[in-house]
Amino acid sequence: MCGSRAFSENQGFPVLSQLAPRTLGSTQAFVLIKALMPAKDIYHNAVKSALIKDGWTVTQDPLSLRIGKKDLFIDLGAEKLLAAQKGSDKIAVEIKSFVGPSEIRDLENALGQFVLYQNALSLTEPDRTLYLAIREAVYLDLFEEEIGKMLLERNVIKLVSFNPEQELITRWIP
């Protein structure tokens, strides 16, 4: 099975396994190399369903990008056909739950990831717009406050908020 790849499940997370030959003295050995895909956010399915209800077609789950030798995984890639323009809008959506002990720390981490993904998309898929998906409650707690308003007014981030119980998009902030 030299060089073969197989997908399997490991506690609910997809695992990519590869058997690679390694030489140990005169003995040939196989080393199991596992690369875990990133864990899905707890609201992943709710956002995916909300996007579909909003008329989007989810085209990638996750949307994978490669920059040099590094792989990045954005939660969702989606498209919406625009009949009037005879084209489509393409988006990438990174979902964040903001359930940590500090909403500011969660915001700092989300912003860092957003900036990294936005720059990677500008190189690999410049026609795709990145959005950060957050619960409506998080929007009200953070982005109705001065710190969030500052980020939105300066166009630092694009948001989509959602209601996880109803699986509905509540607002788009481009």
The answer to whether residues 53 and 30 belong to one domain is no
Q: Does residue 15 sit in the same domain as residue 73?
A: no
Task: Please give the residue range of the domain that contains residue 67.
Answer: 44-173
Q: Return the pLDDT at 31.
A: 36
20-34, 101-115, 160-174: least confidently modelled range: 20-34
| Same structural domain, 95 and 123 | yes
- The answer to whether residues 69 and 21 belong to one domain is no
Q: Return the minimum-mean-pLDDT range out of 15-24, 50-59, 92-101.
A: 15-24
- Compute φ and ψ for 160, nearest 5 degrees: -130, 125
pLDDT by residue (tens digit) across 58-110? 999 999 999 999 999 999 999 998 766 566 899 999 999 999 999 999 999 99
Residue-level pLDDT at 86: 60
32 and 115 fall within a common domain: no
Residues 71 and 155 in one domain: yes
Looking at the fold, whether 125 and 81 belong to one and the same domain comes out as yes
- pTM confidence score: 0.78
The closest alpha carbon to 144, from 134, 131, 163, belongs to 134
Kindly state whether residues 13 and 29 are assigned to the same domain. Answer: yes
62: preceding bond cis by omega (within 30 degrees)? yes
d(CA 4, CA 20): 8
Answer yes or no: is pLDDT of 169 > 80.
Answer: yes
- Which residue, 56, 20, 46, 50, is CA-closest to 35? 20
Q: What is the pLDDT of residues 104-155, one digit of tens each?
A: 999 999 999 999 999 999 999 999 999 999 999 999 999 999 999 999 999 9
Number of domains in the chain: 2
